[in-house]
C-alpha cells in the first residue's frame, strides 16, 4: 500500500478532479480509474440511486484484466438479495473474501451469471454505500478483486483499503450531490420555462409554439456554426453549456408578452370583430337613411354604400400593404356624411377607425406597436429577477436583445453591432424566419422558403442582420433541417 504522503496527495488529486467535473458520466469514470489505480484492484463499478427509488442503476464499470469499460444505465432491484443491494439498503460497508463461498445464512447472494458468460472469476469484493451529508443514499461503490502488488494474485481487501475507499466515496458524494443539485436547478428552470411558455401561449393561441420553434432553430444554427470549417466561425465552437444557455434564451425570448394587454397581443387584424360590427351597424343605418330620404333614387346610393362597406371590410384584415389608391379611397369614404333622425349629420367613420384602416402594413397602429415593442423590456425585467446558475447567467441579456439590429435601428435600446452578442444575433434570425414560415398564423399566409430567405438577405444587405450567421444558415441548409424537424414534431 502507498505511504501516508502518497495517500494524501492522491486523495487531493482525486478531489480536485471531481470538483471540476460537471458531466456525471465523466465524473464516475474518473472515480473508477482513480480507485482501480490507487487501491490496485482489477475491477470497479458504480451504482446510483436516481429517478426510481426502488432501483439502483448500474452506471459505470471497468475491468482491467478483460480490457472492458462500459457506461450504461442498467437498473437492478433495490433489495437485500444482491450484495450491492444489501449494502445500499442498509447503508453498510461489505468486505467479502470470496463471493463464491458466502454463508447460506446471509440474506444476500452473489449472482454468477456475468462470470459464467464472460469467463471472469469474481473473488474478493468491497461494497461501500455512497451517502450525502443527510445520510440519504446516492449509490454504491463496488470494488472487485484486490491484487497483490508483487505477485498479482487476487487477495482480500484489508482495513486500509476500506478506509481509502470510504475517503474516496466521501469526496465522490460531494461531487455527485453537487451534480444532483445542478440537475435539480436545471429541472426547476425547465419547469419555470414551461410554465411561462404555457402562460404566453394560453394568452395568444395563434402564436402557440413560436418560442419552441425559435428554440429549435436557434440550436440548429449554433450546431451548424460548430460544424463549419470556413469563414468567421472556422476556429469557433459553442460548448454544450453555451448551447443550452442559448436554448433557454430562445424559449424565454418572448416571456415579456405576458405583460402586454390582451387586446393588443391577440390583435390579428386592423379592426377587431367588435369594431367591424359597429361599422356594419352604422352602414345599415346609412342604408335606412338613404331609403327614407332618397326614395326612388336610393338604388344607386345603396349600391355605392355596399361597395364601400365591402371594401372597408376587406381592408380591415391584415394582409398586403395598402396601395396609394386604397389609402385615398379610405380617406374619401371617411369624409362622407349621413343624416341622423334629428337632422344632424355624422361621418361614415370615426377617427379611431380611420387611423386603424390606414395602417399601411400589419395590424398595429403606431401607439399599439409601441406598446407591443415593450414586451422586450418586460422580458428583461422578468428574467433579471431569476437567479440563474452561472451556466445560464446570460439568458436575460441574450433574450432581451433579440429585436436589436446591427445598424442601430432595432429596439428597445437602438444597440449597434458591438453591443449585440452572437447568441442574440442568432435569435434574431431564428425569430424572423420562424415568423415568416409559420403555418399557424390565421392572419397571414406562410411565406415560401425562397421569399423568406430573400427577406432575410435584404436585411443582411442593409446591415441589420449578421452576415456570417446568415451565410451558415444558408450554406449549411439549416432552414431545411429546421423545417423537416418542425414538420415531424407538429405531425
Instruction: List pLDDT tens digits, range 85-125.
Output: 999 999 999 999 999 999 999 999 999 998 999 899 999 99
Quote the pLDDT of residue 194. 81
Confidence at residue 155, expressed as pLDDT on a 0 to 100 scale:
96
> Which is nearest to 384 in space by CA: 402, 396, 372?
396
Q: Which of 206-215, 218-227, 308-317, 358-367 is predicted with the least confidence, judged by mean pLDDT?
A: 206-215
Please name the residues in contact with 2: beta carbons below 8 A apart, sequence gap of 6 or more.
10, 38
Q: Which residues of 89-107 are buried (b: 16+ CB within 10 A; e: fewer)?
A: beeeebbbeebeeeeeeee
Contacts of 185 (CB under 8 A, 6+ apart): 389
3-state secondary structure of 380: helix
CATH H-level, domain 2-180: superfamily: GAF domain (3.30.450.40)
pLDDT at 168: 86
**Residues contacting 106, CB < 8 A, separation 6+:** none
Write the pLDDT tens digit of every residue in 6-51. Answer: 667 766 776 776 666 677 888 888 889 888 988 999 999 999 987 6
Cβ count near 86 (within 10 Å): 20
Strands 68-77, 94-96: pairing kind: unpaired
Residues 350-371 have a mean pLDDT of 92
CATH code 1.10.3210.10 for 203-261+365-484: yes
Find where cell 469499460 sits: 69
Per-residue pLDDT tens digits for 126-184: 999 999 988 999 999 999 999 998 999 999 999 989 988 998 888 888 888 888 888 88
Q: Cell match 500500500: residue?
A: 1
Are 143 and 126 within 8 A, CB to CB? yes
CB-based contacts of 473: which residues, under 8 Å, 6+ apart? 221, 224, 429, 433, 456, 479
CA distance 341 to 329: 27
Convert the pLDDT of each residue in 15-25 to its tens digit.
776 666 677 88
Same fold, 2-180 and 203-261+365-484: no
pTM score of the predicted model: 0.72
> Domain spans of the chain?
2-180, 203-261+365-484, 271-357
H helices of 296-407, in order, are: 298-315, 324-334, 351-357, 366-373, 375-383, 395-400
- Cα 397 from Cα 378, distance rounded (Å): 12
Amino acid at each position: 500500500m502507498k505511504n501516508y504522503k502518497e495517500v494524501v496527495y492522491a486523495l487531493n488529486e482525486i478531489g480536485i478532479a471531481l470538483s471540476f467535473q460537471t458531466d456525471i458520466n465523466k465524473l464516475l469514470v474518473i472515480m473508477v480509474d482513480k480507485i482501480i489505480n490507487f487501491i490496485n484492484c482489477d475491477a470497479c463499478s458504480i451504482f446510483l440511486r436516481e429517478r426510481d427509488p426502488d432501483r439502483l442503476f448500474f452506471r459505470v464499470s471497468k475491468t482491467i484484466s478483460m480490457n472492458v469499460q462500459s457506461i450504461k444505465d442498467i437498473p437492478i432491484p433495490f433489495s437485500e438479495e444482491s450484495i450491492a443491494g444489501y449494502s445500499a439498503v442498509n447503508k453498510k460497508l461489505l468486505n467479502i473474501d470470496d463471493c463464491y463461498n458466502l454463508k447460506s445464512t446471509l440474506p444476500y447472494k452473489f449472482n454468477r451469471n456475468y462470470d459464467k458468460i464472460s469467463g471472469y472469476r469474481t473473488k474478493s469484493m468491497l461494497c461501500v454505500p455512497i451517502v450525502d451529508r443527510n445520510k440519504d443514499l446516492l449509490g454504491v461503490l463496488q470494488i472487485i478483486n484486490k491484487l497483490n502488488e508483487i505477485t498479482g494474485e487476487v487477495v482480500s481487501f484489508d482495513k486500509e483499503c476500506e478506509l481509502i475507499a470510504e475517503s474516496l466515496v466521501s469526496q465522490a458524494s460531494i461531487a455527485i450531490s453537487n451534480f444532483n443539485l445542478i440537475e435539480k436547478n436545471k429541472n426547476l428552470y425547465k419547469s419555470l420555462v414551461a410554465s411561462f411558455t404555457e402562460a404566453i401561449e394560453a394568452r395568444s393561441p395563434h402564436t402557440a409554439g413560436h418560442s419552441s420553434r425559435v428554440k429549435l432553430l436557434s440550436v440548429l444554427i449554433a450546431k451548424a456554426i460548430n460544424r463549419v470549417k470556413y469563414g468567421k466561425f472556422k476556429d469557433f465552437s459553442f460548448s454544450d453549456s453555451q448551447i443550452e444557455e442559448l436554448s433557454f434564451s430562445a424559449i424565454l425570448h418572448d416571456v415579456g408578452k405576458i405583460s402586454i394587454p390582451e387586446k393588443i397581443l391577440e390583435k390579428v387584424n386592423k379592426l377587431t370583430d367588435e369594431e367591424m360590427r359597429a361599422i356594419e351597424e352604422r352602414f345599415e343605418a346609412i342604408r335606412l337613411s338613404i331609403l327614407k330620404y332618397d326614395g326612388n333614387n336610393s338604388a344607386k346610393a345603396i349600391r355605392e354604400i355596399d361597395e364601400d362597406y365591402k371594401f372597408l371590410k376587406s381592408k380591415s384584415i391584415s394582409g398586403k400593404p395598402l396601395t396609394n389608391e386604397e389609402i385615398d379611397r379610405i380617406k374619401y369614404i371617411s369624409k362622407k356624411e349621413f343624416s341622423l333622425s334629428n337632422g344632424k349629420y355624422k361621418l361614415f367613420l370615426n377617427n379611431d377607425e380611420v387611423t386603424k384602416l390606414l395602417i399601411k402594413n400589419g395590424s398595429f397602429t403606431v401607439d399599439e406597436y409601441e406598446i407591443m415593442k415593450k414586451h422586450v423590456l418586460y422580458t428583461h425585467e422578468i428574467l433579471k429577477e431569476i437567479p440563474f446558475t452561472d451556466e445560464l447567467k446570460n439568458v436575460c441579456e441574450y433574450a432581451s436583445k433579440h429585436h436589436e439590429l446591427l445598424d442601430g435601428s432595432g429596439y428597445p435600446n437602438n444597440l449597434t453591432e458591438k453591443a449585440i452578442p452572437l447568441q442574440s444575433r442568432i435569435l434574431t434570425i431564428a425569430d424572423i424566419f420562424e415568423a415568416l414560415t409559420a403555418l399557424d398564423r390565421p392572419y397571414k399566409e406562410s411565406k415560401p422558403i425562397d421569399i423568406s430567405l430573400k427577406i432575410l438577405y435584404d436585411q443582411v444587405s442593409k446591415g441589420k442582420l449578421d452576415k456570417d450567421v446568415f451565410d451558415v444558415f444558408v450554406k449549411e441548409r439549416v432552414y431545411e433541417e429546421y423545417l423537416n424537424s418542425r414538420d415531424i414534431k407538429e405531425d
